[in-house]
Amino acid sequence: MTRRPVILGGDPAFPEGLPLARPAIQDVPSIARALESVLASGMLTNGPVVRRLEEAAAAYLGVRDVVAVSSCTAGLMLVLQAVNAQGRVVVPSFTFSATAHAIRWAGGQPDWADIDSETLTLDPASAAAGAAGADAIMAVHLYGTPCAVESLQSQADAARIPLVYDAAHALGSRRRQRAIGGFGTAEVFSLSPTKVVVAGEGGLVATNDDGLAETVRIGRDYGNPGDYDCPFPGLNARMSELHATIGLASFRGLDARVSRRTELVERFRSTVRGLPGCTFPAVDPGDVSTFKDMTVLIDGGAFGLGAAALGVALRREGIDSRRYYHPPVHRQRAYTREPPRRPLPVTEDAAARVLCLPLWSHMRDEQLDRLAEAVMILHAHAEPVARALRDASGDGASPWP
């Protein structure tokens, strides 16, 4: 590795740029013809293509009901409304803000719980500490990593409350050979452009509770059961036929894309193995993650650069990155009036060290290798890179932890 980092006068690793994510859209001409057919039909929302998408998803997931909605967030809101979660909802703070937003919009209050130090998913023991008297538990299959579903279900059963999963990242994940989608009271997926299955925008509510599915179906159409006599206030959360067309096409080849992402993550980890201060969230043996994000945890003392500084240095190399999830939701301005009732040490530690690197299903080995090399080069030159970043800040002090 003779190349020098850009900030020290070297050439960029990716002069063409390396974005964080790129959706896998295959057979565009076929999708275009299907979209033309939808436009010609005059049925543009919540029609036969939406039904076909719901049926295909239910078959893939092995569940009785799938309800297509306009977004994962809307699906979570409707599920929480359906289970009457208007009090405390036990939820991790180490997640995307929409997880908590859905709780608030449904009338509930987030009760922050800590995460497991290995998988970064909801810690069942922490969830149990808040479950008594709560209205629900909401867990998150973070980065596509399956939660400890058996333990979480035991905690929910003991407290006699629903267990809802924010499965935004996890369409294609498996827990011990069983598809994520059939656990808990309901699981809600995202089909937004950064996911492994994309529809442009959209979400899927998966459940084996027929009554809940029907409530969500009514709720996505303003709460109108068909006679305009609404039994409860709903949303305009219908999925368009255009989005469903793209989503249905995107289902093709899902397992192959998940397998390819696993190969890429394993290749990256193998390449940088032994790099001081660089570790990874774990996936339990026998489980399958979609690896919606390729996440690293950076110990600044050992690596020589903190996660934020590494992200800045990578940007100079043409490499995009994100700090999913820093700050954790409980420290975001919208939620500072709802401080945690219990300490969240693992959440705070993970948020301080997290950095998500580029990954997409059709990334080439050569791109992955250049990415790994860029990380290793920045470690090898960490001390002068850190000085250069401090100098670039203008006051001689690094603004990054």
- Cβ atoms 97, 329 nearer than 8 A: yes
The reported pLDDT for the residue numbered 392 is 87
Between CA 375 and CA 305 the distance in angstroms is 11
Q: What's the mean pLDDT in 363-380?
A: 98
Token pair of 301, please?
């003392």
Q: What is the DSSP letter of 334?
A: G
Token pair of 42, please?
């005059």
Token pair of 87, please?
């009090």
pLDDT of 117-134, one tens digit each? 999 999 999 999 999 999
User: Which residue is listed with tokens 């719901």?
Assistant: 54
CA quadruple 268, 323, 21, 117: dihedral sign: positive
CA atoms within 13 A on the CB side of 364: 4
pLDDT of 146-203, one tens digit each? 999 999 999 999 999 999 999 999 999 999 999 999 999 999 999 999 999 999 999 9
Percent of the chain with pLDDT over 70: 98
Residue limits of CATH 3.90.1150.10 in the chain: 255-392
Between CA 15 and CA 130 the distance in angstroms is 49
- Of the candidate CATH numbers 3.30.70.3190, 3.40.640.10, 3.40.50.300, 3.40.50.1820, the domain formed by 28-251 belongs to 3.40.640.10
Percent of the chain with pLDDT over 90: 95
Helix (H) or strand (E) holding 324: none
Q: Is 178 exposed, middle or buried (0-12, 13-18, 19+ CB in 10 A)?
A: middle
Confidence check: pLDDT of 399 > 70: no
For residue 357, which amino acid is it? L
* Mean pLDDT across the chain: 96
Confidence check: pLDDT of 367 > 50: yes
Q: What is the second-level CATH architecture of the domain 255-392? A: Alpha-Beta Complex (3.90)
pLDDT of 250-290, one tens digit each? 999 999 999 999 999 999 999 999 999 999 999 999 999 99
SS3 276: coil
Confidence check: pLDDT of 216 > 50: yes
pLDDT of 285-327, one tens digit each? 999 999 999 999 999 999 999 999 999 999 999 999 999 999 9
Residue limits of CATH 3.40.640.10 in the chain: 28-251
Q: How far apart are the first and last CA of the chain?
A: 27
